[in-house]
């Protein structure tokens, strides 16, 4: 057994090393990081799909300067330690010129210093923690940061929905949902509203009734659900069962066809802040939705959109840079002004995208455009 394991390990490593040595010079290696195993695998799967789609499209158009793009993908398992390992692998072993991903802030925070030290630009697709891009000037992101969406949601709830009393529910083990709720609460209170209940739930739970019963007893007019779609849909169902009648508001984590698949009638008439609306008539949006559906047999979620946009922003920068070294790509990224699925994107001085948010309404099982909010 000993010799088996040992020789298997050695063989696998050698094979890997040799295979990666046979690199062709007419290829541009792009690193991709997302969790495809573990509890965040749902989010990683659609992110990876989007990377694949973006690469396929660019290669279909002839690649960049006649060179084909090749995705070197690595699974971070949603674990920072794993993230640090794969970042090093992509940069040192696969010689990636840029990195797309990861999905989660904690992994991004472990990987970013490595990318920064190696001067490899990185485009975090959905890492919303403000500190991610502060690691250094090579770290960019394609998504909103937590404060922005929470603020937009609070303003919308107060001014458009004309409510005065709100309640929040969020996942205590997830920085994204906790952050959104905290910023929602801060803004809602600052603008004169009252947050009557602020309840967390454990990660991975399916029963939210205890918290919801408590929330409903406090009689809020709206419920801010900052969870991802899979939890948000269950929360909506249980809230309705317990007799909550008001609208619910959420963040871009809601954007997935699974929201209505799981939530059904319970989620009807709810709103969420997003990057785009699927009924947006811009051809870039329609084409993306169509292509994604054909290739993967499912509608894209917010994670796919942001990963796709991140890839486009990065490829566009590589093309404009004309060179493959980190500083040139970084400089080109900084000067980005590009229309992607989630809107017209520019980067601010902290390398966060400046783009408008859209309020989407859930109507007849479809996501319908409601309003645009500028930053």
Q: Of residues 76-95, which lie at the interface with other proteins (CB under 8 A)?
A: 77-81, 84-86, 88-89, 91-93
Structure tokens of 197?
């209940």
Pick the closer one to other proteins by CB: 87 or 156: 87
Answer yes or no whether residue 16 interacts with other proteins by CB under 8 A. Answer: yes
Binding residue for other proteins (CB under 8 A) from 29, 50, 97, 110?
110
Q: Would you count residue 51 as binding other proteins (CB under 8 A)? A: no
Residue 59 lies near other proteins (rule: CB under 8 A): no
Shortest Å distance, C-beta 76 to other proteins: 10
Q: Residues touching other proteins: how many (CB under 8 A)?
A: 84
For the beta sheet containing 343-347, the strands, ordered from the edge strand earlier in sequence to the opposite edge, are 337-340, 343-347, 353-354
**Which DSSP state fits 158?**
I
27 is a contact residue toward other proteins (CB under 8 A):
no
Q: Which of 47, 126, 129, 273 binds other proteins (CB under 8 A)?
A: 129
* CB-based contact 199:168 (threshold 8 Å): yes
Q: Does 60 bind other proteins (CB under 8 A)?
A: no
Out of 67, 68, 113, 196, the only residue in the binding site for other proteins (CB under 8 A) is 113
From the list 41-49, 184-192, 309-317, 346-354, the region that binds other proteins by CB under 8 A is 41-49
Which residues ranging from 307 to 366 are in contact with other proteins (CB under 8 A)?
A: none
DSSP-derived 3-state class of residue 94: coil
Closest CB to other proteins among residues 134, 371: 134
- Residue with Cβ nearer other proteins (13 or 335): 13
Spatial contact of 131 and 106, defined as CB atoms under 8 Å apart: no
Q: How far is the CB of 135 from other proteins (least distance, A)?
A: 9
Using CB under 8 A, which residues numbered 183 to 222 contact other proteins? 199-202, 204-207, 209-211, 213-214, 217
Distance CA 350, CA 174 (A): 23
Are the C-beta atoms of 235 and 227 separated by less than 8 Å? yes
- In angstroms, rounded to a whole number, what is the distance separating the alpha carbons of residues 161 and 95? 51
Rule CB under 8 A: say whether 174 interacts with other proteins. Answer: yes
Is 6 a binder of other proteins (CB under 8 A)? Answer: yes
**Contact call for residues 79 and 38 (beta carbons, < 8 A):** yes
Closer Cβ to other proteins, 90 or 321, answer by number: 90
Supply the minimum distance, in Å, between the C-beta of residue 158 and other proteins. 25
Q: What is the DSSP letter of 64?
A: B
Q: Which of 75, 137, 227, 255 binds other proteins (CB under 8 A)?
A: 75
In the complex with other proteins, which residue's Cβ is closer, 36 or 317? 36
Q: Is 258 in the site for other proteins (CB under 8 A)?
A: yes
Q: Are 217 and 180 in contact (CB under 8 A)?
A: no
Backbone angles phi, psi at 296, to 5 degrees: -115, 0
Tell me how many helices (H) and strands (E) the chain has. Answer: 12, 15
Q: Residues 47, 105, 163, 352: which binds other proteins (CB under 8 A)?
A: 105
153 within 8 A of 366, measured Cβ to Cβ: no
Count of CB atoms situated within 10 Å of the CB of 338: 14
Q: CA-based Rg of the chain, rounded to a whole angstrom?
A: 21
> What tokens were used for 368?
């319908």
DSSP letter string, 201-212: E-TT----HHHH
Can you give the length of the chain in residues?
375
Residue 234, interface with other proteins (CB under 8 A)? yes
Identify the residue among 243, 245, 281, 349 touching other proteins (CB under 8 A).
Answer: 243
In the bound state with other proteins, the residue whose beta carbon lies nearer, of 233 and 359, is 233
């Amino acid at each position: 057994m000993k010799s088996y394991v040992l020789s298997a390990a050695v063989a696998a490593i050698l094979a890997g090393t040799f295979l990666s040595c046979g690199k062709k010079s007419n290829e541009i290696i792009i690193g991709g990081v997302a969790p495809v195993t573990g509890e965040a695998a749902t989010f990683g799967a659609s992110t990876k799909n989007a990377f694949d789609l973006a690469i396929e499209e660019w290669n279909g158009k002839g690649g960049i300067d006649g060179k084909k793009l090749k995705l070197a993908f690595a699974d971070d398992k949603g674990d920072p330690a794993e993230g640090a390992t794969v970042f090093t692998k992509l940069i040192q072993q696969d010689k990636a010129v840029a990195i797309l991903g990861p999905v989660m802030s904690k992994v991004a925070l472990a990987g970013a210093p490595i990318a920064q030290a190696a001067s490899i630009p990185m485009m975090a697709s959905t890492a919303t923690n403000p500190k991610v891009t502060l690691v250094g000037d090579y770290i960019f992101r394609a998504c909103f940061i937590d404060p922005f969406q929470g603020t937009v949601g609070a303003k919308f709830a107060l001014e458009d929905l004309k409510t005065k009393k709100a309640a929040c529910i969020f996942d205590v083990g997830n920085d994204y949902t906790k952050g959104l709720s905290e910023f929602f609460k801060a803004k809602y209170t600052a603008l004169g509203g009252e947050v009557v209940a602020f309840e967390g739930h454990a990660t991975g739970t399916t029963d939210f009734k205890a918290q919801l019963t408590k929330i409903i007893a406090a009689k809020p007019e709206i419920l801010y659900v900052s969870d991802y779609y899979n939890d948000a849909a269950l929360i909506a169902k249980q809230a309705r069962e317990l007799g909550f009648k008001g609208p619910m508001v959420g963040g871009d984590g809601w954007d997935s066809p699974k929201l209505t698949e799981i939530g059904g009638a319970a989620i009807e008439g709810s709103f969420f802040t997003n990057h785009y609306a699927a009924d947006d008539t811009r051809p870039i949006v329609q084409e993306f939705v169509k292509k994604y559906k054909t290739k993967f047999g499912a509608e894209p979620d917010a994670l796919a959109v942001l990963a796709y946009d991140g890839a486009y922003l990065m490829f566009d920068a590589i093309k404009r840079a004309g060179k493959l070294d980190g500083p040139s790509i970084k400089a080109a990224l900084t000067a980005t002004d590009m229309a992607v699925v989630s809107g017209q994107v520019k980067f601010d001085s902290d390398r966060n995208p400046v783009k408008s948010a859209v309020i989407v309404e859930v109507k007849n099982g479809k996501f319908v455009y409601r309003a645009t909010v500028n930053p």
